[in-house]
A = this chain, B = another copy of it.
Amino acid sequence: MDLIPTMPDHSLEKPAHCRRKEARPTEIIAAALHLFDEKGYAATRLDDVALRAGVSKGTIYLYFDSKEALFNAVVREGLVAALSGWEVRLANDAGNSSNLLGELVLDFSRMFGSDQAGAVLKLALSEAGNFPDIAHTYHDCVIEPGIDLLRRVVMRGMARREFRSVNPEIAAHIILAPLLMRVIWEHSFICGGSDVPTERYLAEYLDLVLEGLQSAG
């Protein structure tokens, strides 16, 4: 499966000519993301994507080879957005591990709080059956790095005797879960959901996790 959409490289064109034209693919992707997230891949009609993007249906095919290619582009865009969020200063940060974990969680919250990354997370999970390649790519490029980051923070904390001894791999999964779940939640039970504001949720969550990790001493 080709994750890179058929998209002409406009990088050498004069920049101030027609901003709309260059934004087209992005606008289409944004429209598609919204609808894929809302209705799922299969139930989303290209007509609706075109309508929402303000272009004709045929135009979509100028930039993407097929509906599946569009889906790939959507996910890839969200992938990039997500990846950029995982950039942490893990190494050069000299603070204590609890703070480091706290910042990681905030980063995460900011990243998946955007429609972009959040919707793609849900998409990757929902459509995993029909697009195993995407599921794998997403897992390898987003989930695994995130887990890895958490694992390293946990190991750092253990090494510095700030955290008690746990299985870092599993702990990372468990720590990540409530964050992912919260994202899925908001994209599935749109109306209603829990009325707990994100800040409180994160605070309480961090409190619980850190307490659980805290070294006995």
A residues with CB within 8 A of B: 37-43, 122, 124-130, 132, 135-136, 139, 164, 166-167, 169-171, 173-174, 176-178, 180-182, 184, 187-192, 194, 196, 200-201, 204-205, 207-214
Contacts and interface: CB of A to CB of B under 8 A. Distances in A.
22 contacts: A39-B129, A40-B127, A40-B129, A40-B130, A43-B130, A125-B184, A126-B126, A126-B127, A128-B188, A129-B188, A129-B190, A136-B189, A136-B192, A166-B204, A167-B204, A170-B204, A170-B205, A173-B194, A173-B196, A174-B178, A177-B180, A211-B211
Contact of A174 (B122, B135, B204): B204
A173 B204 CA distance: 10
Q: Among A178, A201, A209, which residue has the most Cβ atoms of chain B within 10 A?
A: A178
Which of A37, A126, A207 has the largest number of chain B CB atoms within 10 A? A126
A63 to B, nearest CB: 16
A122 to B, nearest CB: 8
Contacts of A126: 40, 125-127
Contacts of A176: 181
B212 A209 contact: yes
A135 B166 contact: no
Contact of A38 (B129, B174, B210): B129
Contacts of A124: 188
B170 A201 contact: yes
A166 B208 contact: yes
Contact of A40 (B40, B135, B190, B211): B40
